[in-house]
Structure 1
Amino acid sequence: MTADRLRDIDAEDRLRADLYNYLGLILSGPPDGKLLDQTAGLSGDTSELGRAIDQLAKVARVATPKGVTTEYNALFIGLGRGELLPYASFYLTGFLNDKPLARLRGDMAALRIARPDNVFEPEDNIASLMEMMSGLIVGRFGAPATLAAQKDFHAKHIGPWAGHFFSDLAAAKAAVFYAGVGDVGRVFMQIEREAFRLATD
């Protein structure tokens, strides 16, 4: 993405993209010390999302990479499987690698989004979808997506299930640091859903 293209994106959309990207990064694997430190340095405002961000930062300040790795493994890997299965197919149909994944792959091809060669997770995992949405907003896959295109992608692949996943993450037995991630994601998904409902392109 060029600097000129980034300048064409308004500040609110850059912030949206940054939060989607952060959620994708923090859910793609346990954070290292640098990412934990960056999380600890976050600050929010008095809104519900701002308060959730402040609480996540507070937990990050006392977290350690080793502790969060243990938590991540219990949540998403486990012995056989973790406490949560963060895939659209599972949330929408009860099965992995089902029709929602096939529909996503078709839309990815149309949008020229390719799974990196070093990623082996099914594309409908929550981390990948957060990263895709960020990329659409800022134009990582070509021109920045129109609001209508963002709304369509969100409605098909994120809106129907991501809020439920983040609520489950916030309430998961193994979640401490990731409970805060779940709260941030849950509130953000509510904001995005309402914004898309009211938006016109």
Structure 2
Amino acid sequence: MSAPISIQTQPTWSEEDRARADHYALLARLFHAAPDAVLLDALVQAGRSLGGTGGENEGALPQAWTALAAAASSLSLQAVRDEFDALFVSVSKPVVMMNGSWYITGFLQEEPLAELREDLLELGLGRRQGVTETEDHISALAEVMRHLVLTGPDEAGLLRQQRFFGRHIAPWYADFAAALAKAPGAGFYAKVGALLLAFMDIEREAFDMLEASAQ
């Protein structure tokens, strides 16, 4: 399985944008394919710096990092690979769908995908030849957001990020995370879903504040 979106980045960003881009890149990678041993170890290490301390008022993102790091350290590489295949790989309908159109309309290849393709065309982003996954796959959308973060640190860039996120991610990411949380056999990827939910909630709140300040 290959990522549906072909993009090039320009490494000019603030520390905050670097952290945002890194989170988008990680989510894109984890939903693109099962992690390898190097990535699992990196998640454990990241959890030590980004995870919480168990405080009463601790935010959802540090908690999610702590839980994901614990899962990465306790599960074998093969167990995580088997879980990815069981959840997302199927000749018919997977246990958990990773396409936005499914959560928005209940079907694939629907109007949200057509609208997404129009927006990608306006952004100058294209789909790679030979890729089977559609552009509304969560890994592809995360890659697009990473691209927008890295190439648009100015006000116009923030507005592009806000518009893309609001149109193509905000309507369904919480439902996707909920599907992961209740999916049979989801251990590691339930924790990845919790990380996605916590991070996307922060993004959504920031974009809502940006919109409010512009009014």
Normalising by structure 2, report the TM-score: 0.84
Which of the residues 183, 186, 196 maps onto 2:197? 186
Q: Per-residue CA shift, 1:36-57, capped at 9, x if unaligned?
A: 1111211224422011101101
CA positional deviation for 1:90: 0.7
Residue 147 of structure 1 aligns with which residue?
158
Residue 109 of structure 1 aligns with which residue?
121
| Distance in 2, Cα, partners of 1:171 & 1:42 | 25
Identity rate, percent:
38
CA contact (8 A) 1:170 1:181 kept: no
Structure 2 gap ranges (5+): 1-7, 53-57
Q: Secondary structure at the match of 2:126?
A: coil
Residue 34 of structure 1 aligns with which residue?
38
Indicate whether 1:73 and 2:85 are aligned: yes
Q: CA RMSD in A?
A: 1.8
Equivalent residues, number: 195
| Distance in 2, Cα, partners of 1:11 & 1:117 | 34
Which of the residues 154, 161, 166 maps onto 2:172? 161
CA positional deviation for 1:6: 2.8
Indicate whether 1:17 and 2:21 are aligned: yes
CA positional deviation for 1:161: 0.5
1:82-161 aligned at under 5 Å gives the runs 82-139=94-151, 146-161=157-172
Structure 1 gap ranges (5+): none
Higher relative contact order (CA 8 A, sep 6+): 2
Normalising by structure 1, report the TM-score: 0.90
| Distance in 1, Cα, partners of 2:139 & 2:73 | 23
